[in-house]
Structure 1
Amino acid sequence: MSRKKYSTKLFYKYYLDWIHLYKENAIRPVTLNKYYLVQRTLKEIAPDLHMNELDRKSYQNLLNIYALTHEKTTTLDFHHHLKASLFDAVDDGIIKMDPTRRAIVKGTATKKKRPKFLNLYELQTLLRSLKLGSELNWDWFILLVAKTGLRFAEALALTPEDFDYEKQCLIINKSWNYKEKTGHFQPTKNPSSNRTVMVDWQIMQQFKQMIENKDQKKPIFFEEEQRIYNSTLNQRLASYCKKAGIPPISIHGLRHTHASLLLYEGVSVASVAKRLGHSNTTTTQETYIHIIQELENKDNDKILHHLSQL
């Protein structure tokens, strides 16, 4: 019986071929670029690693090298990108076993990060400082993100026809590619991101008055030929936070704030996941695990109190 020969191809070359085969034209350009970044890094730190040399030890060594200069969360992301390709390599008979099994993810000390979200009092303070006139401006954009939890690109893509006044909701079915020089509409991050988001009656009426004479199919916050920078709006938001004496957060931080406050109010994880456009509740649970654990502790107190009454 002849012994099976496994691939002797260089790992970084296999990974590049895998990206071409499975990822090109299947995911958004910004996501695809992350895979290419991982491939370039792989070539840099393991230029001589062949597929037939991949085992738990060589793979762990690869992760350890990467972890020397990256935080644990970044190393984990690097690991997940590689892991997907190696699963396929095992299935296709290119390598004998899964080298990522029981891999230990390490990393450098985590830097102190800015707060990702505000508490209710801080958010109320921020919103009171906004300059909300009778005409649409970027402060209205900040308010809308705070009240809906929309992604930055989703909020940019809003057009008048996305406002359903009868059902009191926003229809999210596209996003705005602001990262390219010539911005344009593009699909949402994933199929689950196509959704409707309930909004309070007051803000729906306020927007109705401001956008009723605008082109139904064009963005409401800017002209299509205008270049939009995330950093510009983050700076605007940070300046408001500073003046209000609250921790500075980003536009994306408003999305985290929105979700966090809903969870604290007792809204289910499933409902929050659907509102945010997450593909599954696991993403929501992992992102807001600290809040969920805090709520579970409160629930345990309620359970024990109830049991003591029986």
Structure 2
Amino acid sequence: MIKKYLTKDGETRYMLQVYLGVDPFTGKQKRTTRRGFKTQKEAKKAERELLLSVEENGFTDHSSKPTFEEVANLWLESYETTVKPTTYQNTRKYLNILIKDYFSDIRIESISVSMMQQIVLKLSKRYTAYSLYLSVVNRVFKFAMSLGIVQANPVDRIIRPKQQPPKSEKIALTKEELNQFLTLAKEHARPVLYAAWHTLAYTGLRKGELLGLEWSDIDLDNKVISVQHNLVMVNGKYRIQSPKTRKSIRKITIDDITASVLKSWKLEQKKLFFKNGVKNSNIVFSGSSGEYLDKSHFRVSLKKFLKRYDLPAITVHGLRHTHASLLFEAGVEPKTISDRLGHANIQTTLDMYTHLNDNQRSDVADRLLKFLEA
């Protein structure tokens, strides 16, 4: 389609708007607009040349040399159909940051190993868990290779910086540190927080599994917790979905003290509901109105409490690490620990908890001596 228009100076010019077909790379219709032709004849000639070029060469400027962002978005469309909404949401978030800060308007085939090495060094300085971002980049390049867009994956040839936890935070608490923390929490923390922190440390639940618990999931008489839910946030709203993996759906036995802590909290919760005129809620660790505890507030509350009482800094997930670490120290077999934590495989358990504390290292030496002397 060719149209006549006037410029700001009042001169007559022609523009063309032409439909070029469907781009085989994106699967989307492609149109283009060109302006500034002095005659209608010039515009028609340019239109014919465009159509002929596409017919002979395809969308060379677009599909044969796509940007990292174009390939990533195409991969993401397929990826969305294979994962849970929260996984997709997090991946989309990582990808948006990567494109904005590192891959904006860069052709994917032009990304070299040296460029990728510089990017990963920047990521490692910016994010403690930079491997989450690198994993997304790696999958985009693998997807590009499967489409024949690139011949090699530069991520395969980079040197990955060692990932370190923040120096100010411990990976796990010792038995003595945990007892000190829970003693103070029982006396000074809100009852719901004390019950939640105690349950985390004594069960090894993930944060979402803990906050998604319902009273119907807990058999206090037989002291068993059925892990069937995971609290997630999708599009700014909390919702319940199935746990992380199939192995995450499991039953966890609890000790007498933990059962007592949960029973006490259940009674306290009923008093709180009655006081606030709230109908009974099936959510175990709820706020005063019976709603789910906010994950961010839950994290910040732990951080503030530890700082207030000058206790070792540890994250909410660190209480899960603490549980596993103490199970190792108690001599529990790795396979049993793996099943209790809901890991997809035992290697995950072994990889995560290789940080033995001094007591465990001494225990290894003592065990060897006893074995040799037997």
Shorter-chain TM-score bucket reads 0.7 to 0.9
- 1:63 and 2:117 equivalent? yes
How many pairs were matched up?
301
Letter in 2 for 1:221: F
Instruction: Select the residue among 309, 312, 324 that pairs with 1:247.
Output: 312
- 1:79 and 2:134 equivalent? yes
Query: Is the 8 Å Cα contact of residues 145 and 255 (structure 1) preserved in structure 2?
Result: yes
Q: Which residue of 2 aligns with 1:23?
A: 80
Instruction: Select the residue among 231, 234, 259 that pairs with 1:176.
Output: 231
CA distance in 2, matches of 1:87, 1:292: 39
The CA deviation at 1:305 is: 6.4
Query: Which range is displaced more, 30-39 or 293-302?
Result: 293-302
Percent of matched pairs sharing the same residue: 23
Q: Which residue of 1 aligns with 2:282?
A: 218
Query: Is the 8 Å Cα contact of residues 338 and 346 (structure 2) preserved in structure 1?
Result: yes
Instruction: Select the residue among 195, 218, 237 that pairs with 2:250.
Output: 195
SS at match of 2:226: strand
Instruction: Select the residue among 121, 141, 147 that pairs with 2:176.
Output: 121
CA distance in 2, matches of 1:229, 1:130: 19
Letter in 2 for 1:18: W
Q: 1:241 to 1:11 in 2, by over 3 A?
A: closer
Unaligned runs of 5+ in 1: none
Per-residue CA deviation, residues 249-290 of structure 1 (Å, 9 max, x unaligned), is 232221111111111222222222221222223332332222
What aligned pairs does 1:12-161 form with structure 2 within 5 A after superposition? 12-24=69-81, 26-29=83-86, 32-54=89-111, 58-68=112-122, 70-71=124-125, 73-106=128-161, 112-131=167-186, 137-161=192-216
Q: Which has the higher contact order (CA 8 A, sep 6+)?
A: 1
Letter in 1 for 2:226: I
Letter in 1 for 2:320: R
CA distance in 2, matches of 1:257, 1:119: 7
Query: Is the 8 Å Cα contact of residues 123 and 130 (structure 2) preserved in structure 1?
Result: no
Q: Which residue of 2 aligns with 1:267?
A: 332
CA distance in 1, matches of 2:301, 2:207: 14
- 1:10 and 2:10 equivalent? no
CA distance in 1, matches of 2:342, 2:349: 10
Q: 1:14 to 1:39 in 2, by over 3 A?
A: farther
Q: 1:258 to 1:137 in 2, by over 3 A?
A: same
Query: Which range is displaced more, 226-235 or 158-167?
Result: 226-235
Query: Which range is displaced more, 230-239 or 260-269?
Result: 230-239
CA distance in 1, matches of 2:336, 2:163: 35
SS at match of 1:96: coil
Per-residue CA deviation, residues 24-44 of structure 1 (Å, 9 max, x unaligned), is 562332553334423442354
Q: 1:89 to 1:156 in 2, by over 3 A?
A: same
Query: Is the 8 Å Cα contact of residues 193 and 279 (structure 1) preserved in structure 2?
Result: yes
The CA deviation at 1:188 is: 1.6
SS at match of 2:186: coil
CA distance in 2, matches of 1:197, 1:123: 20
CA distance in 2, matches of 1:110, 1:235: 18
CA distance in 1, matches of 2:86, 2:285: 24
Query: Which range is displaced more, 7-16 or 95-104?
Result: 95-104
- 1:233 and 2:298 equivalent? yes
What RMSD, in angstroms, separates the aligned Cα atoms of the two structures?
3.7
Letter in 1 for 2:195: W
Unaligned runs of 5+ in 2: 1-59, 271-278
CA distance in 1, matches of 2:346, 2:163: 29
Q: 1:62 to 1:39 in 2, by over 3 A?
A: farther
Q: 1:111 to 1:181 in 2, by over 3 A?
A: closer
Instruction: Select the residue among 145, 158, 163 that pairs with 2:218.
Output: 163
The CA deviation at 1:148 is: 0.7
Query: Is the 8 Å Cα contact of residues 128 and 166 (structure 2) preserved in structure 1?
Result: no
Query: Would you tell me which structure has more strand in proportion to its own residues?
Result: 2
Per-residue CA deviation, residues 60-102 of structure 1 (Å, 9 max, x unaligned), is 4123134235338544332222212322333343322333323
Letter in 2 for 1:141: A
Query: Is the 8 Å Cα contact of residues 120 and 261 (structure 1) preserved in structure 2?
Result: yes
The CA deviation at 1:115 is: 1.4
CA distance in 1, matches of 2:307, 2:89: 36
Per-residue CA deviation, residues 154-198 of structure 1 (Å, 9 max, x unaligned), is 111211211134643100010223576543322222222111111
The CA deviation at 1:240 is: 4.4
- 1:281 and 2:338 equivalent? no
The CA deviation at 1:117 is: 1.9
